[in-house]
Structure 1
Amino acid sequence: MSPAARRTTFAILALALGGFAIGTTEFVTMGLLPQIAEGTGVDIATAGHYVSAYALGVVIGAPLIAVMAAKMPRKGLLMGLMGFFAVAHIAIAFADTYPTVMAARFLAGIPHGAFFGIGSVVAASLVSHQRRTAAVATLLGGLGVANVIGVPLATLLGQRYSWHLPYLVVGLVAVVTVAAIGVFLPHQSPSGEESMRSEMRSLRRLQVWLALLIGVVGFGGMFAMYSYITPTMTELAGLDESYIPWVLAAYGIGMVTGMVLSGRVANRVGVLKGIIIALSLVGALLAVFGWAAQVLWLAVVMVFVLGVLPSIVVPLLQTRLMDVAHEGQSLAAALNHSTLNMANALGAWLGSLVLAAGWGYGAPSLVGAGLAVLGVGVAVLSAALERRAHVARPAARQVETANV
């Protein structure tokens, strides 16, 4: 490997380390909710607001930062975002009341989407066109590794010592990420095309909205099932609750596998076709998950596969957004993570409705299957419109030539 290639690899891995920190903090709160509730003097239901506060920070922060920081050098911006993330987590580590934890969690969520969005644009710019999706997948792979290693270890630390400790550790990892980006990432000047106006102009493109809608609807299907994975496995599969971390680890390993496969899928079948195929398989698997979950070994296999398939889609969707956004890549890529958090809320809410109606723990996965099918429909519509536009352009040129 040449020195330039080695530096590029380390630069992308530095960004992935930031993804690891973000993935750990995003999911560890769910595992430590009883401890955090007791430590801040609230009940479990109220402590759930800490999860919502972080998600709200993601939804608001991602587009706001992408637009307002459009002209900033990207290397400095990424370091600033991760530095802010570190400070917010150190604040969580010292917060012990409901208002202070809520405020710190909200602030911690603000850099999330912008870091992944802008980081994806930067990672893609460091490699050849054919390797863009693989570079983005490496960055996002930090989320998968977090679910395999970071979340279980952080949960263990929080249970054995203090719920504050995992957030302090995440803050320290963020500080290391700032240093790694500073050392390995080359200077990233704006190309001159970025501006607040050009970023906002990307939102006029129908294909951008269709890609975002694929994320909201398609991933809402996966979250409809995954939000209730613990009671589903204990009630339907008869699994003892003490083994749930192993099931979640299987899901995390599936995520890492999907991220690795994503670049190959993009090169083999194309970005949009890969999204359609993977989401179709997600819908099919969710349709039978309620039945399969009654057999323990089959349920674990299904959880692993349902970690793989959506994780193939995430980098593909990120690449798709960068392709169709043109001059507004940073905003579109950042909005992808806002939409994924919206998908989380949508899926969990729809799943709760069927559970409240008494349909049982097999029902959320059926809701998820329906949402995944809707996501496939949006992707097919996007492909049809794109194909029609390609056919229309040569015809228009022929008319112009004839008139001349």
Structure 2
Amino acid sequence: MKKSLVSLALGGLTLGVTEFVMMGLLPDIATDLKISIPVAGYLISAYALGVVIGAPLLVIVSRNYPPKKTLLALVTMMAIFNSLSIIAPNYVFLFASRFLSGLPHGAFFGVGAVVASRLADKGKEAQAISIMISGLTIANVAGVPIGTYVGHNYSWRYTFIIISCIALITFVAVYFWMPNLEARAKETIKSQLQFFKKLDAWLVIGISAIGFGGLFCWISYIAPLLTEVSGFSAGDVSYILIIAGLGMVLGNFIGGKLADKFSAEKTIIYLLLAMAFDLLLVFFFSSNQYVSLVLVFSTGCFAFAVVAPIQMLMIQTAVGSEMIASAAIQAAFNMGNALGAFLGGLPLIAGFSYASPNLVGAGMSLIGVLITYVFLQKRLRDFKLQKLLVLD
């Protein structure tokens, strides 16, 4: 494996822990800052909003700079902004630091995906990109459970010290292992933004933000779900998150296989239907600890199985605008993060149980199915129209 790709995977690890560890830390942060868990949940939304704003903005700003210089700048932002969370004196400061921490997320994956494809051996571009994405799955298997354990047993601030250290290691790896690739030909902002004129692009963004957002109704409040509904101790949460991470690793593999074998649109429809059904099971059966553990694994599996097909759909839609599209899909996923955390928190504010956000998640997944169906029908109409024009 090329060391340059390992450096990108380390960046994925840093961002993965930064994004997902908050779900396991919500009860500890809420207790420390004397706020409710639903209010603490908005810290998840803050990060996601940072991704949504930072992804296109930073990609456009850095479009004509050498990739290595851009990646180093983004990793520096990761280290500095996560360090702010360590010293956060109150909720407002922590909210701001979480927002800032999200800014480099989408841009790193957007630039990193293009760099990975340029570094890859011919015919292995997708495999190279998957190595970078593997940092996210490693984060969920190891980084998030460790961060949750440290945060619960010592201090949630120590978790952000760990994240900042991983970011510094990533900086060193990129500095020494990433070759000095030349910047691509000068690109105008107008040419980059052409991508957003396509209806297909917005439909894929909608699938990602709403359909995939169902995951965040579940995982945003997984810690109180496990402790208050399933009856696990707070100390068990970090271990159970490993089960969720393993499900995500398997789901990522399965989703890639399915997307290669079937059309991306049909794969997304069936997987989102499966996720909606799974979230309904979480709502009804999480009070049983044994069933709850199975559902933790299956929900993680179905959720991450959708990622590869959605990414493939975006790539097919964004010919000529791959970098901005790659950043946009990360922004869309995090729009789902923000929507899921916010909408999932509404029934909690209304006084319903910690299982209730999963009903919202199931609804979001079903809306994602509907948007995908509209996308599929539009593609079929466009294909038939193109065929008629050729015959004429």
Match of 2:216 in 1: 223
Contact 2:212 2:303 in 1 (8 A): yes
Secondary structure of 1:180 counterpart? helix
Secondary structure of 2:318 counterpart? helix
Match of 2:149 in 1: 156
> Using the alignment, how far apart are the partners of 1:358 and 1:98 within structure 2?
22
1:328 aligns with 2:321: yes
> Using the alignment, how far apart are the partners of 1:101 and 1:281 within structure 2?
36
> Using the alignment, how far apart are the partners of 2:42 and 2:270 within structure 1?
36
- The one-letter code sitting in structure 2 at the alignment partner of 1:260 is F
> Using the alignment, how far apart are the partners of 1:306 and 1:292 within structure 2?
13
Deviations 1:109-154 (A, max 9, x none): 2101111222223334444787555443432232222122112222
**Which of the residues 346, 352, 375 maps onto 1:382?**
375
> Using the alignment, how far apart are the partners of 2:236 and 2:177 within structure 1?
40
Match of 2:254 in 1: 261
> Using the alignment, how far apart are the partners of 1:255 and 1:317 within structure 2?
15
Change over 3 Å in CA distance of 1:354–1:129 after alignment to 2: farther
Change over 3 Å in CA distance of 1:132–1:295 after alignment to 2: farther
1:204 aligns with 2:197: yes
> Using the alignment, how far apart are the partners of 1:224 and 1:48 within structure 2?
10
- The one-letter code sitting in structure 2 at the alignment partner of 1:27 is F
**Which of the residues 61, 67, 72 maps onto 1:74?**
67
Secondary structure of 2:319 counterpart? helix
> Using the alignment, how far apart are the partners of 2:36 and 2:47 within structure 1?
16
Q: Which has the larger radius of gyration?
A: 1
**Equivalence map 1:315-394=2 (5 Å):** 315-357=308-350, 360-394=353-387
Match of 2:288 in 1: 295
Change over 3 Å in CA distance of 1:203–1:35 after alignment to 2: same
- The one-letter code sitting in structure 2 at the alignment partner of 1:227 is S
Contact 1:258 1:308 in 2 (8 A): yes
Change over 3 Å in CA distance of 1:125–1:208 after alignment to 2: farther
- The one-letter code sitting in structure 1 at the alignment partner of 2:9 is A
> Using the alignment, how far apart are the partners of 1:96 and 1:362 within structure 2?
31
- The one-letter code sitting in structure 1 at the alignment partner of 2:111 is I
Contact 1:194 1:328 in 2 (8 A): no
Q: Between 199-208 and 376-385, report the one with greater CA deviation.
A: 376-385
1:114 aligns with 2:107: yes
**Equivalence map 1:45-194=2 (5 Å):** 50-96=43-89, 100-127=93-120, 132-192=125-185, 194=187
Q: Between 344-353 and 104-113, report the one with greater CA deviation.
A: 344-353
> Using the alignment, how far apart are the partners of 1:272 and 1:186 within structure 2?
36
Q: Which runs of 5+ in 1 are unaligned?
A: 1-5, 400-404
Match of 1:3 in 2: none
> Using the alignment, how far apart are the partners of 1:177 and 1:323 within structure 2?
31
| Deviation for aligned residue 1:268 | 1.9
Q: TM-score, normalised by structure 2?
A: 0.88
| Deviation for aligned residue 1:236 | 4.1
Contact 1:137 1:259 in 2 (8 A): no
Change over 3 Å in CA distance of 1:124–1:260 after alignment to 2: farther
- The one-letter code sitting in structure 1 at the alignment partner of 2:147 is A
Contact 1:20 1:146 in 2 (8 A): yes
| Deviation for aligned residue 1:69 | 1.8
- The one-letter code sitting in structure 2 at the alignment partner of 1:322 is I
**Which of the residues 237, 244, 250 maps onto 1:251?**
244
> Using the alignment, how far apart are the partners of 1:163 and 1:143 within structure 2?
20
- The one-letter code sitting in structure 1 at the alignment partner of 2:99 is F
**Equivalences, count:** 391
Match of 1:26 in 2: 19
Contact 2:41 2:341 in 1 (8 A): no
| Deviation for aligned residue 1:169 | 2.5
> Using the alignment, how far apart are the partners of 1:32 and 1:231 within structure 2?
10
| Deviation for aligned residue 1:220 | 2.0
Change over 3 Å in CA distance of 1:48–1:369 after alignment to 2: closer
| Deviation for aligned residue 1:81 | 0.6
Change over 3 Å in CA distance of 1:254–1:205 after alignment to 2: same
**Which of the residues 226, 230, 237 maps onto 1:233?**
226
Contact 2:152 2:235 in 1 (8 A): no
- The one-letter code sitting in structure 2 at the alignment partner of 1:343 is G
Change over 3 Å in CA distance of 1:316–1:126 after alignment to 2: farther
- The one-letter code sitting in structure 2 at the alignment partner of 1:309 is F
> Using the alignment, how far apart are the partners of 1:368 and 1:95 within structure 2?
31
> Using the alignment, how far apart are the partners of 2:187 and 2:246 within structure 1?
37
Secondary structure of 1:326 counterpart? coil
> Using the alignment, how far apart are the partners of 1:252 and 1:47 within structure 2?
22
What CA RMSD, in Å, does the superposition of the two structures yield over aligned residues? Answer: 2.9
1:278 aligns with 2:271: yes
Deviations 1:313-366 (A, max 9, x none): 223322322321222222222122222222123223333334455554444323
Q: Which runs of 5+ in 2 are unaligned?
A: none
Contact 1:132 1:319 in 2 (8 A): no
